[in-house]
Structure 1
Amino acid sequence: MSATIECTTADAVTWITLNRPEAMNALTWDQREEIIGILNSASADPDVRAVVITATGRGFCAGADLGGAPATGPRVPGDVARTIRLGAQRLIAAVMDCEKPVVAAVNGTAAGIGAHLAFACDLVLAAESARFIEVFARRGLVPDGGGAYLLPRLIGPQRAKELMFFGDALSSADAERLGLVNRTVPDGELRKTAQEWAARLANGPTRAIAMTKQLVNASLESDRATAFAAEATAQEINMTTADAQEGVASFKERRDPTYRGR
């Protein structure tokens, strides 16, 4: 890992820390690729059972920093769409498709793709000083990085349009009220709370949580019959796991289960 992305794993939790505070953790091309690689590795590693994404300094992520992108020649039609498809959208997809639960611990300003990085996570914790900004309209741009996909599904189309049309900064308390944030905590308690939530996830039935994540994400595009069929299939597959068998056995034996992520 580079010095600007810290990655540590302890107690089955992988921590991804954006460490470029002088730039409010604006994401470069190289950083984005590192994060995608870490998330893909976490999916495949049975010893990783939860992921936390956070940052150092005053900013969680101020958006994209294109200064680190590979050099290209004169722009031609299709270049911008390709850059977004292979860049910001891949990052958001990597979070949503990660087979482990991903927690965002938002320590400061999350703007543009930085806000969407947080909203793509399964659970979002925010420090009281955090802010969320849909900056695209301020710059005459269309939201990218999955924003127009994520926000309407989280808070409805009218609220999403308000945030995207005006680009006003949203406090962490207001973000929680709207449903973009699970919980707002004092700044000094953010990491502790993230550790507690991650530990609970890491001690849970990892495969069942992964399939639950897939079901919920897919349900927003599914009709009832498709969603019900996917649910039944997921439960059929899950019942073959050791954790499901442990969960049923512990219920019958009236004891706490011990899950191993298998």
Structure 2
Amino acid sequence: MTPVLESRREGAVAVLTLARPDKLNAFTAELHAALREALAACAEDEGVRVVLLTGQGRAFSAGQDLTEDLPRDEEGRIDLGPPLARDYNPLIEMLAGYPKLTVAALNGPAVGASMNIALACDILVAARSAYLQEAFARIALIPDAGGTWILPRLVGPKRALALMLTCDPIPAEEARAMGLVHAVYEDADFAREALDFASRLAQGPALAQAMTKQAVRASLGNDLASQLALEAELQRRAGFSDDFHEGIAAFREKRAPRFTGR
């Protein structure tokens, strides 16, 4: 059987590639299970510092595979609740609390639920031809996979609502201007540039990176006093780390630091 997800290591970067190019990498229950399993393995692998999630072929992902057999209720109607509870919600929660850095590398369009899966990653980079699209309203659905929670926090509720209701595609350069995408690379160079970016992150202080993620996530629900207290707690822990002492030594010796994540 052809694998629906490919996994490889490039140094300290784990590259996970959605591998259903004939279906524009649309998500099925099988692909969801494979992705969650791979993410869990990477979380436990001390050699992995960064997970790079991308797609095979000309799309990042077209979202849910609507040709997949979906469950039905007692009246025979398609019931989208079980797939969300079984597949999408656990994936979004896994990415939201993931202990390592995640980079969504948009080699092509990220449409529907796959846009929100990408936005659940820590950082997005995109090929110039890529675009994001909340396409749910086209088939009379609401955005799921965390879209109604994530997107308003990134671009504001009014703009998020307009993007959801119009289903307008967001070209890569426009997404960068909105703050959704960190960097846009030319299509011909995209695979190399995305991996180089992830590799640069993988050379950073993993412990401090994880605590930075923790602080940013907490800031969405904290008041200022609570956030200041959390910063002080985390900074104290960071100051005890081997990486902090290495960073100070490297600064004084005018050399690049060699972080170990401890």
Distance 2:254 2:60 in 1: 43
Aligned to 1:85: 85
1:101-159, Cα deviation, whole Å (9 max, x unpaired): 11111011111111111111211111111121101111111111000111111111111
Distance 1:39 1:241 in 2: 26
Aligned to 1:204: 204
The 8 Å contact of residues 64 and 113 in structure 1, kept in 2 or not, is answered as yes
Measured after TM superposition, the shift of residue 95 of structure 1 is: 1.9
Measured after TM superposition, the shift of residue 63 of structure 1 is: 0.5
CA separation of 1:75 and 1:180: change in aligned 2, threshold 3 A: farther
Question: Which letter does structure 2 place at the counterpart of 1:206?
Answer: A
Aligned to 1:185: 185
1:174-219, Cα deviation, whole Å (9 max, x unpaired): 1112111111111111111111111111111011111101111221
Measured after TM superposition, the shift of residue 67 of structure 1 is: 5.3
The 8 Å contact of residues 110 and 131 in structure 1, kept in 2 or not, is answered as yes
Which structure is higher in RCO with an 8 Å CA cutoff and minimum separation 6? Answer: 1
Distance 1:19 1:187 in 2: 19
CA separation of 1:136 and 1:241: change in aligned 2, threshold 3 A: same
The 8 Å contact of residues 4 and 34 in structure 2, kept in 1 or not, is answered as no
Size of the aligned set, in residue pairs, is 261
Alignment of 1:224 onto 2:209: no
User: What is the TM-score when the length of structure 1 is the normalising length?
Assistant: 0.92
Aligned to 1:60: 60
The 8 Å contact of residues 30 and 68 in structure 1, kept in 2 or not, is answered as no
Ranges in structure 2 where 5+ consecutive residues have no aligned partner = none
Distance 1:216 1:128 in 2: 28
Aligned to 1:124: 124
1:67-146 correspondence runs (5 A): 74=74, 80-146=80-146
Aligned to 1:174: 174
CA separation of 1:178 and 1:168: change in aligned 2, threshold 3 A: same
SS in 2 for 1:87: helix
SS in 1 for 2:60: strand
1:218-255, Cα deviation, whole Å (9 max, x unpaired): 21121111111111111122233221221122233333
Question: Which letter does structure 2 place at the counterpart of 1:151?
Answer: L
Measured after TM superposition, the shift of residue 2 of structure 1 is: 6.1
The 8 Å contact of residues 29 and 69 in structure 1, kept in 2 or not, is answered as no
Aligned to 1:243: 243
User: What is the TM-score when the length of structure 2 is the normalising length?
Assistant: 0.92
Question: Which letter does structure 1 place at the counterpart of 2:10?
Answer: A
SS in 2 for 1:143: coil
The 8 Å contact of residues 125 and 190 in structure 1, kept in 2 or not, is answered as no
Distance 2:159 2:72 in 1: 38
The 8 Å contact of residues 104 and 123 in structure 2, kept in 1 or not, is answered as yes
Distance 1:87 1:69 in 2: 14
Alignment of 1:165 onto 2:170: no
Identity rate, percent: 39
Distance 2:59 2:180 in 1: 18
Distance 2:161 2:33 in 1: 30
CA separation of 1:248 and 1:84: change in aligned 2, threshold 3 A: same
Distance 2:206 2:69 in 1: 36
1:39-50 correspondence runs (5 A): 39-50=39-50
Distance 2:85 2:231 in 1: 30
The 8 Å contact of residues 50 and 198 in structure 1, kept in 2 or not, is answered as yes
SS in 2 for 1:247: helix
SS in 2 for 1:256: coil
